[in-house]
Amino acid sequence: MAKIHWLGAGLSSVPGIRRLAASGADMVLWNRTLSRAEAALEGLSTGVKAAKLDWQVLEDAVEPGDVVVSMLPGTLHLQVAELCLKKQANFISSSYISPEIKALDDEARQAGLCFVNEVGLDPGIDHLLAHSLVNDYKHSTAFKPDNKHFFRSYCGGFPKQANDFTYKFSWSPLGVLKALRSEARWLEEGEEQSIGTPWKAVSAYQTLLADGGRESFEAYPNRNSLPFMQDYKFGEDWNTQQFVRGTLRLQGWTRAWQSLFDEIEHLQGEAGDARLAELSEQLWEKYAYAPDEQDRVVLCVELEVRDAQSGEVVWHQGYNVDETGNQRGSAMGRLVSITVSLAVESVLNSELPVGVSAAPDSPELVDNWLAKLRESGERISRYDYLTMAEC
C-alpha cells in the first residue's frame, strides 16, 4: 500500500492531515520541529506517525508509488519534486505551477507519476468552480461563441473582525508584498490590460452571499490571468470581453495600505528586496493572527454572458464561498488542506493524469471534489443571477 508523506505541519495543513488520518491512511507527517508535527496529530488514534524533517531520512523513507505532499515554502517545492523523481513517487503541492516544476513534465510522464499542483483554495477550488461553470454553459441552450463573455474570479482572506489595517497574516507577509510588485495582466472590454502596481487597478466588487445579503469589497487583478482562458477552455473563437482572476480585500484596504504602497512602488534591486524583507518582519510582528482568532475567506467565481447584438444577459451563474474559522480550523487552513487531501485520494485512486497538472477539469471529478468539500462542512453556494435563486 502506498504511503503518504506530508511535509509541513503549519496551520494550512492540519485539517487535511486529520481528514486523511481519519480515513485510515498510512501517513507520515514530516516537520522541521517534531513537537509541532506531534501536536497536529494529537488526539488521533490512527497509525499516523510524526517525524522530524531531515532530507536524507525522508529520501530513505520514500518508496516507489508513494505520495509526497509539499506544504513547505514555495522555494522548496522543486527540491521535493526532484526527490520524487529520484524515488519514483508522486508529488502534490497547492502552489501555482512554476516554470521549474513544469520542466519536469516529460520525466514525470515517462515515469508514470502524477505531479499535481494548484489544489488548494486559490489556486485550487477556484479552478473547480470555473470548470463547472464553463462546462455547464457550453451545454446550455444559451451557448454561442459570439456571445459577449465576462468571467470574474476573486478570492480573499481577512480577519472576521476587521481591524484598522483591514488585514492580518496567517504566515510570512513576504509573499503578499512580492505579489503586489508583480505585473498583473487581464482582459477588459476585449483588450489585454497590464499594470505593474496592481493596487492602482482596484475596483468595487459586490457579491451575493450565502445568507442572501450583498457585500461590497475592493478587488484587483492578480498575476497573469490570460493563460487561464485556455485552461478553463474558453474557445479562441469566443467573444470574451472580460477575463480576470484577482484578489478581494475589505473596504478601506486601499486607504489603510496607502503608505505601504507608496514605499513598495519605489523599491529596486537588492536594497529593495532587503527592505521588503524588513517590512515583512514588521508587518508579521504587528498584524499576525492571534491564537484562536477567527479568519474569514470569501471566494467568488462567476460567468456572465450577454447577447452580442442586444446586450441582454442570457446566462449568468456563479459560485460563492464565505467561510470563517471554527473548531475544525481556520477557514484558510480548511479550504487549502482539505482540497490537498482530495488530490492525495485521487492520486491513490488513479483518477488524475500522469505528468505535471493542476486541479482536475473533468466534470465527474470536479463534482466529486465539490461534494466531498461540502461533506467536510464547507459551504459552497451556486446562484443563477437571472432568477436570483440558488441552484
Going 226 to 228 to 243 to 378, the CA torsion angle's sign is negative
Q: Please, what is the end-to-end C-alpha distance for the chain in angstroms?
A: 40
Going by C-alpha positions, the residue among 217, 223, 221, 220 that lies closest to residue 166 is 217
Q: Which of 54, 105, 122, 295 is catalytic?
A: 122
Going by C-alpha positions, the residue among 102, 323, 320 that lies closest to residue 231 is 102
Rounded to whole angstroms, the Cα distance separating 157 from 237 reads 35
Residue 90 pairs in a beta bridge with: 67
122 labelled catalytic? yes
Going by C-alpha positions, the residue among 10, 28, 16, 243 that lies closest to residue 149 is 243
Going by C-alpha positions, the residue among 379, 372, 378 that lies closest to residue 349 is 372
Query: Please, where are the H alpha helices in 67-173?
Result: 77-87, 99-102, 105-111, 125-138
Going by C-alpha positions, the residue among 155, 287, 138, 277 that lies closest to residue 223 is 155
Enumerate residues 6+ apart whose C-beta is below 8 A from 28. Answer: 3, 4, 5, 6, 48, 49, 50, 51, 61
Residue type, position 70, single letter: S
Rounded to whole angstroms, the Cα distance separating 175 from 172 reads 7
Q: Are 100 and 79 in contact (CB under 8 A)?
A: no
C-alpha cell at 365: 471529478
Q: Are 243 and 187 in contact (CB under 8 A)?
A: yes
Residue 50 CB neighbour total at 10 angstroms: 19
Q: Residue 172: phi, psi to the nearest 5?
A: -50, 130
Residue whose grid cell is 467565481? 301
Q: Are 50 and 18 in contact (CB under 8 A)?
A: no
Going by C-alpha positions, the residue among 274, 389, 284, 380 that lies closest to residue 335 is 380
Catalytic residues: 122
